[in-house]
Amino acid sequence: MTQFNHYQIKFLDKSNEKLSQEEYVDVMNQTGFLKFTRGHFLDYILEVELIIQVIIENYMLHKKSKLKGILRKNVLNKMNLSQKIDILLAIINEKKELNDKDLRLLKSYSGYLRQERNKWAHGIIHFKQEKNGEIIKSF
């Protein structure tokens, strides 16, 4: 396993192949692309989280309420995405905003969102190597 900053790269094939300079540059380029992709994915997740937060605020308080800032600062900003999703689903269920089928679908999607968010936020970047001719290709 090689360590670059706080990202870990694991080569899964257990080979003893040494990376040439060209192959090393290729791995670094792929790592850079994955960092870029990871960052953008997490930015989108933050946007979704903010939308969930606004929906919760709007359901729990009147739109002109002066308590929105207090709710946001002292409650919602201290919660993680999973907790916010749980509250949103409870509100939707209580208000009967969706039929049972659509609520189950939303729960399924939100579970998938949580899993993917955690993978991208905390996961390890893995590369698998295959030797094609004289070139070791990492993907």
Q: Is 2 inside a domain boundary? A: no
Q: Is 113 inside a domain boundary? A: yes
Q: Is 89 inside a domain boundary? A: yes
* Edge-first strand listing for the sheet containing 2-4: 2-4, 7-11, 125-127
Q: What is the SS3 assignment for 1?
A: coil
Phi first, then psi: give them for residue 35, nearest 5 degrees: -65, -45
Per-residue pLDDT of the chain (139 residues; tens, 9 = 90+): 444 444 445 554 555 556 678 877 887 787 788 888 888 999 999 999 999 999 999 999 988 898 988 999 999 999 999 999 999 999 999 999 999 999 999 999 999 999 988 888 887 766 555 555 555 555 4
Looking at the structure of the chain, the number of domains it has is: 1
For tokens 């903010």, what's the residue? 50
Q: Is 1 inside a domain boundary? A: no
Predicted TM-score (pTM) of this structure: 0.70
Note whether 122 and 112 are within 8 A (CB): no
Q: Is 39 inside a domain boundary? A: yes
111 C-beta neighbours (distance < 10 Å), count: 12
